Structure 1
Amino acid sequence: MDKIALFFGPLNGSVHHAAKIVAQEFGEENIDLIPVSQASINDLNKYGKIIFGISTVGKDTWDQEFTNTDWAEFFPVVRDFDFSTKKVALFGLGDHITYAYHFVDSMGLLAKIILKNKGTLIGKTSPEGYNFQDSEALKDGLFLGLPLDEDYEKDLTPERVKAWVAQLKSEF
């Protein structure tokens, strides 16, 4: 198996914790964990298989200049990158109670950028078993990646990651 790049942010939070679970499920020797706060275009160029892990932020944040997030400097690189030779999977963290109307929106907004820039998006998942009101990450009845709620459904994360990684192994 070719190495997979798993870009994640923020560092040392729930996304980082979820990234470690994904890496363990793949086998840590198969994944390079790369914090987005330390990533560059050269890192994107090195890999044909990419996973992005991101936490939920609202559309207003995406439409403004980033200043205080680990994605602040890396997001413009992603926005301008040609993903035409890349397979990309996404996981997004969200709070389905506090942000029921914006559940894992950032994953959906990031997916739109990947697709616009000709990337092959893999790892779509069913919304079955999730409680939320609305999400930018839902298209044609599927999530555009794996939603995780580390605030209220942390106990479901290992099972969800295990099923998703099994799916990704066949799609990568």
Structure 2
Amino acid sequence: MKKIGIFYSFRSHKTKQQVKKIIKHLGEKNVEEVNIDDAGHKDFEKFDNYIFAVPTWFDGELPYYWDEFLPTVEDDSLKGKKFALFGGGDQKGYPENFVDGLGIMAEFIEKRGGKIVGFTSTEGYTFEFSRARRGDQFVGLALDIENQAALTDQRIEKWVADIKKAFEEK
């Protein structure tokens, strides 16, 4: 398997906990962690397979560090590159925009020719609306640590198995 770049904010403790679990299932030698707070174009162009940790902030917004990073690659073609997305949300506190950050990121990637892998079922979640929803699936792994922490490890394990296969396909 080609090396995977996993991009996230090293300052986000909840995200870092989930990243460690993902890396454990992927195998440490297959993954390079990239701090999105300091990442630039050179960090991005090293990979063909990516995992983006995209939590949803406030009323369905991307965290500021993603807003600052995306312009560095906005003119790039992402054709031939694969992206797996995961992120946290709160389906009870913010049911009208649950994990919207995943949907925003997927739109950005797809407009530039990138391929999203690792869709997951919406079954088992209760929310009103999500930009991350496509039919009966999310465009990535939706984690709700606030309300469904007990399901997190199982969801991560299944998702990682799926994205490993997708990253290996041509």
TM-score, normalising length from structure 1? 0.89
Q: How many residues align?
A: 167
Give 1:72 shift: 4.1
Counterpart in the other structure of 1:48: 48
> How far apart, CA to CA, are the structure 1 residues paired with 2:67 and 2:135?
30
> How far apart, CA to CA, are the structure 2 residues paired with 1:107 and 1:154?
19
Instruction: Tell me the SS of whatever aligns to 1:75.
Output: helix
Q: Is the 8 A contact 1:58 1:105 kept in 2?
A: no
Counterpart in the other structure of 2:90: 95
Instruction: Tell me the SS of whatever aligns to 1:151.
Output: coil
Q: 1:171 aligns with which of 158, 166, 169?
A: 166
| Alpha-carbon spacing, 1:12–1:57, altered in 2? closer, same or farther (3 Å) | closer
> How far apart, CA to CA, are the structure 2 residues paired with 1:51 and 1:60?
20
Stretches of structure 1 that go unaligned for 5 or more consecutive residues are none
> How far apart, CA to CA, are the structure 1 residues paired with 2:6 and 2:109?
15
Give 1:30 shift: 1.0
Q: Is the 8 A contact 2:120 2:139 kept in 1?
A: yes
Q: Percent identity?
A: 35
| Alpha-carbon spacing, 1:92–1:80, altered in 2? closer, same or farther (3 Å) | farther
The one-character-per-residue Cα deviations of 1:105-157 (angstroms, maximum 9, x if unpaired) are 01100000000010011101110111211100001321000000121212211
Counterpart in the other structure of 1:27: 27
Counterpart in the other structure of 2:107: 112
Stretches of structure 2 that go unaligned for 5 or more consecutive residues are none
Counterpart in the other structure of 1:160: 155
Q: Is the 8 A contact 2:59 2:94 kept in 1?
A: no
> How far apart, CA to CA, are the structure 1 residues paired with 2:160 and 2:69?
25
| Alpha-carbon spacing, 1:137–1:10, altered in 2? closer, same or farther (3 Å) | farther
The one-character-per-residue Cα deviations of 1:148-168 (angstroms, maximum 9, x if unpaired) are 012121221110000000111
> How far apart, CA to CA, are the structure 1 residues paired with 2:60 and 2:51?
24
| Alpha-carbon spacing, 1:139–1:79, altered in 2? closer, same or farther (3 Å) | farther
Q: Is the 8 A contact 1:86 1:120 kept in 2?
A: yes
The one-character-per-residue Cα deviations of 1:2-33 (angstroms, maximum 9, x if unpaired) are 11000013623212221111111111111111
> How far apart, CA to CA, are the structure 2 residues paired with 1:140 and 1:76?
29
| Alpha-carbon spacing, 1:51–1:118, altered in 2? closer, same or farther (3 Å) | same
Instruction: Tell me the SS of whatever aligns to 2:85.
Output: strand
Coordinate RMSD, CA, aligned = 1.8
TM-score, normalising length from structure 2? 0.90
Q: 1:133 aligns with which of 128, 134, 147?
A: 128
> How far apart, CA to CA, are the structure 2 residues paired with 1:155 and 1:60?
24
Letter in 1 for 2:121: S
